[in-house]
């Protein structure tokens, strides 16, 4: 979501005559696009602001947009007096106001609705991977999560608006579409005729475009994984055989305290259904360790689900108390030392899962998407259908963005391969 927001901010400012610079001391306008899902992310924002205010030229405008802006509000001006604007994640389309009135401090952290999507200009050049938000906010209110406060309640964009963005992306360079949402598979839109559209409808319509070769979505919520969405994995070849479906914990007791689905068997049933419609599908997850009152037994259940599902690529974090969340007020907060030990143990298991899957790919042929040249300039980096990084020797001739690659080697973090002529 932050990548998308950054791209749209850049496109909007280019229409106002700005060009990007990598040097802070040269910039006339400096924007930090921020995330507050964990305390560490918020701390990094203010650390970066401290460095920037010392390096920037006096006349440069400085501001923050996104979730930290929403979380901090007017207090951000107190902490960093040099700030010119603080705009929440649904308000960054107001940036032209600060350009017109550079002497006025602008604070806008209202949650609003979906009007920013109407205000933002269409992209004139789109990267190979286009990020397309289909909804904002979340209604699930997990007790550890600040998203309902920073992004608000769920709002689904009109079906035709999303498809128009997809069509524009396909005409301006994209060959892969990634649908985005804090609860992306919770997408529901009813048009003026009473017709209900779901995420599966967006996927089906997008797959009709000849320019689009790959489709994926993130991040999904287990109970929103409806049968129509499961079935389309088996019928639509453009939909990648890879799904991020966070479980967060393997303990029903902790999941209940998190206000997450606590029926582990139901989660396993969804995974079985997915594999029954497409046997090559793979699952990734998110995990939180050290949630308040998490016992050793609770943590062992998390290790067990990681072993059983064999997630191929997961994100794991120590629980981080966030303001405006119920979990931050819970008793029996876990010490940082215990969190660190548990995270290390979980990471060892997740890394082993990832290494095992990567090794199983040796000898296989995959259609991979070009991403970049590596730092040495001698290799190209691709992404497999499972979002693995795959490195190949750079050929002498130009190549198409999609290549069939034979996997020749692997380790925990990436694959190596050779382009099949």
Determine the Cα–Cα distance for residues 230 and 201; give it in Å rounded to an integer.
12
Owner of token pair 């206000």: 259
The pair phi, psi for residue 80, each rounded to 5°, is -130, 85
pLDDT at 121: 78
The CA distance from 315 to 151, in Å, is 21
pLDDT at 261: 96
Picking from 225, 314, 326, the residue whose alpha carbon sits closest to that of residue 277 is: 225
State CA 121 to chain mean position distance: 22
Q: What is the pLDDT of residue 111?
A: 81
Q: In three state form, how does the secondary structure of 22-56 look?
A: CCHHHCCEEEEEECCCCHHHHHHHHHHHHHHHHHC
The pLDDT value given to residue 110: 83
pLDDT in the model for residue 421: 85
Determine contact, residues 244/284, Cβ cutoff 8 Å.
yes
Closest CA to 317 of 35, 28, 60: 35
Could you give the residue ranges of the DSSP H alpha helices within 56-144? 67-72, 75-79, 95-100, 115-119
Tell me the C-alpha to C-alpha distance, in Å, between residue 54 and each of 48, 50, 57.
10, 7, 8
pLDDT (0 to 100) of residue 37: 84
Confidence (pLDDT) at 416? 98
Instruction: Give every residue of the chain whose pLDDT is below 50, as ranges.
Output: none
Q: Residue 334's pLDDT is what?
A: 98
DSSP H or E stretch at residue 367: strand 365-373
């Amino acid at each position: 979501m932050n990548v998308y927001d950054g791209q749209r901010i850049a496109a909007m400012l280019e229409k106002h005559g700005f060009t990007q610079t990598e040097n802070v001391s040269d910039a006339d306008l400096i924007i930090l696009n921020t995330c507050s899902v964990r305390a560490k992310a918020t701390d990094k924002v203010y650390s970066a602001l401290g460095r920037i205010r010392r390096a920037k030229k006096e006349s440069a405008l400085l501001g923050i947009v996104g979730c930290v802006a929403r979380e901090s509000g007017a207090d951000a001006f107190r902490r960093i007096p040099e700030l010119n604007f603080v705009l929440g994640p649904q308000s960054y389309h107001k940036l032209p106001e600060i350009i017109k009135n550079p002497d006025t401090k602008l604070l806008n952290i209202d949650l609003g609705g979906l009007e920013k999507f109407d205000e933002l200009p269409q992209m004139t050049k789109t990267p190979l991977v286009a990020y397309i938000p289909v909804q904002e906010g979340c209604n699930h209110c997990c007790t550890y999560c600040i998203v309902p406060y920073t992004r608000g309640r769920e709002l689904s964009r009109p079906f035709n608006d999303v498809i128009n963005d997809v069509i524009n992306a396909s005409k301006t360079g994209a060959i892969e579409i990634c649908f985005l949402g804090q609860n992306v598979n919770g997408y529901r839109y009813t048009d003026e005729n009473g017709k209900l559209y779901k995420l599966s409808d967006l996927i089906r319509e997008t797959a009709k475009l000849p320019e689009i070769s790959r489709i994926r979505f993130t991040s999904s919520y287990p109970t929103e994984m409806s049968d129509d969405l499961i079935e389309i994995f088996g019928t639509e070849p453009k939909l990648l055989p890879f799904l991020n479906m966070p479980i967060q914990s393997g303990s029903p007791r902790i999941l209940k305290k998190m206000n997450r689905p606590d029926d582990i068997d139901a989660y396993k049933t969804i995974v079985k259904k997915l594999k029954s419609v497409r046997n090559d599908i793979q699952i990734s997850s998110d995990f939180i360790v050290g949630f308040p009152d998490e016992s050793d037994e609770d943590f062992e259940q998390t290790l067990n689900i990681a072993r059983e599902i064999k997630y191929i690529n997961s994100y794991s974090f120590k629980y981080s108390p966030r303001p405006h969340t119920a979990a931050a007020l819970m008793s029996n907060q876990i010490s940082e030392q215990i969190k660190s030990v548990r995270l290390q143990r979980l990471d060892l298991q997740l890394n082993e899962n990832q290494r095992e899957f990567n090794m199983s790919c040796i000898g296989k042929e995959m259609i991979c998407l070009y991403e970049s040249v590596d730092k040495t300039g001698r290799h190209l980096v691709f992404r497999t259908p499972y979002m693995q990084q795959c490195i190949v020797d750079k050929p002498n001739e130009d190549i198409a963005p999609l290549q069939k690659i034979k996997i020749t080697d692997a380790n925990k973090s990436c694959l190596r391969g050779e382009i099949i002529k």
